[in-house]
Amino acid sequence: MSDWASDGEGFSTTLLGGFAAGIASALVNDVYAFVYRATTGFASLHPTYGSITVSSIFPSFLAAVGYFALTRFTRHAGTVLALVTAAITFYSFQTAFSATLPDGSAKPPGFDALTLPMHVVVGAVAAFVIPRFAGEIGRLRAWLAACKTTA
């Protein structure tokens, strides 16, 4: 078990880390989409900024839940999370081999160059931020609790 998990830190702290990772990756991905559209002239309505934001935050929450579960079973939860997010990100690249979108419509030119880097951002930010955020908040809370008992 990681140190922060044994200090009694729990699910809400980990979810907060997932939210932080999701917001960070949503901001990066929304800015990337804006710049990509402005520089390439990509004119498709999809993905929207709303769908980019939701698609950045939701997987980060799932990663946080997974990380919380991993901390209960292994001392290497951060490493396992990084490996799992890398595998999922790699698997998500299979969409590049499809000529259609999930709704069956034709994929517009440049769609993969817009969306695939976003997959990397979400996975990388989740793998990096969630364990560090949860660990730092956990240590801060443990320190504050220790200060209360000595005062």
- The reported pLDDT for the residue numbered 151 is 59
Beta bridge partners of 100: 106
Q: Is 100 helix (H, G, I), strand (E, B) or coil?
A: strand
Domain total of the chain: 1
The DSSP element (H or E) to which 118 belongs, if any, is helix 111-150
Rounded to an integer, what distance in angstroms lies between the CA atom of residue 78 and that of residue 130?
8
- Span 27-38, pLDDT tens digits: 999 999 999 999
- Span 122-150, pLDDT tens digits: 999 999 999 988 877 767 777 777 787 77
66 is in which domain, residue-wise? 3-150
Q: Is 14 helix (H, G, I), strand (E, B) or coil?
A: helix
**Res. 5: pLDDT tops 70:** no
Model pTM score = 0.82
Rounded to an integer, what distance in angstroms lies between the CA atom of residue 87 and that of residue 70?
16
pLDDT band at residue 2 using 50, 70 and 90 as cut-offs: very low
Summarize the chain as % helix, strand, coil (round to 5): 80, 0, 20
Whether the CB-CB separation of 21 and 64 falls below 8 Å is answered with yes
**What mean pLDDT, rounded, does the chain reach?**
87
- Span 60-110, pLDDT tens digits: 999 999 999 998 998 899 999 999 999 999 999 988 888 888 788 888 899
